[in-house]
Amino acid sequence: MVPHTLLIVAPALQLPIDLEKEVTVLDLPLPGRREIESVLDGIINANRNQIVVDLSKEDRERLLQAAQGLTLGEAENAFARAIASDGRLDARDIALVLDEKRQAIKKSGLLEFIDSSGSIDDIGGLENLKTWLHKRNGSWLPSAQEWSIPAPKGILITGVPGCGKSLTAKCMASLWGLPLVRMDVGRVFSGVVGSSEQNMRASLRLAEAVAPSILWIDEIEKGFGSGSGGDSGTSQRVFGTFLTWLQEKSEPVFVIATANKIDGLPPELLRKGRFDEIFFVDLPTVSELKVIWKIQLRQRLTASSKASGELTVDDRLLSKLAEHSNGFSGAEVAEAVVSACFEAYSERRPLTEEDLTRTINNTVPLSTTQSEQIKLIRDWASQRAVASTSTEDQDGLTTAGSEGDVASWRGGRRIDF
Ligand SMILES: Nc1ncnc2c1ncn2[C@@H]1O[C@H](COP(=O)(O)OP(=O)(O)OP(=O)(O)O)[C@@H](O)[C@H]1O
Ligand SMILES: [Mg+2]
């Protein structure tokens, strides 16, 4: 018998069980830069007489990069739309194509482009984590290869709720100047959009297509932790796909995963060599609280000149607020500032120091209501994770409900980067 090769082409992978062992699956990547360039040239040539093309070499490069991550059909539509709007193709169309890409990615339902307008200076404290990120800025550039530096794989940030895990993910994208895409693990597994394995592969492929990029997996335990629901065989396989990719990926996609409940996470994920580092974000120390108050007040007060009035945000005020709110999370500080602003607004007068101290007194922080749980996460972290707070900011002051020695009480190993 003459041997035959059968090729099955399909947009979605759904193999009958009988065939699973017989076939080799080839995942076609999204079009690369050169393919997108030929679509662009095609469309320019076809409309040469009707349109004006005003693109510098650099604009052209940025336009191509903006379309990276789209299929050929989508790229063609995006370019056509850009041209049709005003009969021109110029630097202003880059935003339009990017917007088209955002929509296309959103439609997939698995990933979402996040606008990272925040700056790393919007994060108070966590100096150790920030230094680590600073040092790895630019590690995906060709120049890093001359130093034989391996591209960083990613980090896992875990810790007390409301202390800046998600905020860090958002701000690091602007620090590194890379696109940030968030994976919705719940949806990958939900089966609403497609099969879980296919969803995972599609998401990773998309993240690679926009590389260099940052893939943010928020609340990773919801997908990969024990008790995350779903069929355990499937979740094992999807998890396997992710781990293999994490270990072997060749595109510069940096993963930033955040988790609240770490005890449910599979040990394979935490093993050395998967993530570059596991960081623990604890309740802010008093020194860190000072900076967080400053940031939160600045954000609120510059947004509204009416609220600012006479309040002088100086060192004395910040020290007082920080001491007073010892045991608060960053989110609780943010919330306290908003409540204080409401107090002032209800009487149509500027914000005062008393408004702030009163809201602090009225807040019962999570560190009081959930001290047991926080202790558990800290115990876990002191063995396995690195403290995000720098040694310098460990100010030796205990937080509410503490028991003696801060160094042993606070979670995370002390390594300064
Ligand atoms: N270190 C910080 N510096 C400045 N603001 C902070 C800090 N930590 C928290 N905040 C404020 O609290 C808000 C919530 O923080 P974030 O979403 O990062 O918490 P999280 O650690 O991801 O919490 P969760 O575990 O509940 O997801 C932020 O948007 C910010 O306003
Ligand atoms: Mg979060």
Is any atom of ligand 1 closer than 6 Å to the C-beta of 124?
A: yes
What is the rounded CA–CA span in Å between residue 239 and residue 218?
15
Asked if residue 223 and residue 273 are part of one domain, the reply reads yes
Determine if ligand 1 sits within 6 Å of the CB of residue 330.
Answer: yes
Which residue do the tokens 């959103």 mark?
Answer: 106
Instruction: Using DSSP, state whether 77 is helix, strand or coil.
Output: helix
Q: Which residues make up the environment of ion ligand 2, defined by Cβ < 5 Å?
A: 165-166
| 124 lies in the same domain as 260 | yes
At residue 417, the pLDDT reads 81
DSSP, residue by residue, 252-301:
-EEEEEEES--TTS-HHHHSBTTBSEEEEE-SPPHHHHHHHHHHHHHHHH
> Is the confidence at residue 100, as pLDDT, over 60?
yes
Structural domain count of the chain? 3
- Closest ligand (CA of 182): 2
Same structural domain, 271 and 293: no
From 327, 346, 367, give the residue that closes a domain.
367
pLDDT at 405 (0 to 100)? 40
pLDDT grade, residue 80 (50/70/90)? very high
Q: Average the pLDDT over each of 138-142, 248-252, 401-405 and give the range with the smallest value.
A: 401-405
| pLDDT at residue 404, rounded to an integer | 44
**CB distance 165 to ligand 1 below 6 Å:** yes
Q: Which one of 57, 79, 108 terminates a domain?
A: 108
Cβ atoms of 307 and 139 within 8 Å: the answer is: no
Cα(330) to centroid(ligand 1), Å: 6
Q: Please report the pLDDT score of residue 191 as a whole number.
A: 64
**Are 261 and 219 in contact, with CB atoms under 8 Å apart?**
no
Ligand 1 atom with the smallest distance to the CA of 288 is 1
Is 408 a residue whose pLDDT tops 50? no
> For residue range 280-310, what is the model confidence (pLDDT) as tens digits?
999 999 999 999 999 999 988 876 666 666 7
In this structure, which ligand is nearest to the CA of 279?
1
Answer whether 289 contacts ligand 1 (Cβ < 6 A). Answer: no
Among the atoms of ligand 1, which is closest to the Cα of residue 331? 12
- In angstroms, the first-to-last Cα distance of the chain is 65
What pLDDT does residue 194 have? 62
The closest-lying atom of ligand 1 relative to the alpha carbon of residue 170 is 18
Instruction: State the pLDDT at residue 230.
Output: 53
Protein residue closest via CA to atom 19 of ligand 1 = 162
Asked if residue 253 is part of any domain, the answer here is yes
Burial classification of residue 172, based on how many CB atoms lie within 10 Å of its CB (0-12 exposed, 13-18 middle, 19 or more buried): buried
The pLDDT of residue 402 is above 50: no
How large is the average pLDDT for residues 203-216?
Answer: 88
| Domain membership of residue 84 as a residue range | 33-108
Asked if residue 125 has its Cβ within 6 Å of ligand 1, the reply is yes
Neighbours of 127 (CB within 10 A): 21
Write the CATH number for 214.
Answer: 3.40.50.300
The verdict on 143 and 194 lying in the same domain is yes
Q: Residue 397: its pLDDT value, please?
A: 44
Q: Is the CB of 336 under 6 A from ligand 1?
A: no
pTM of the model: 0.84
At residue 188 the predicted structure's pLDDT band, cuts being 50, 70 and 90, is confident
Residue 291, in any domain of the structure = yes
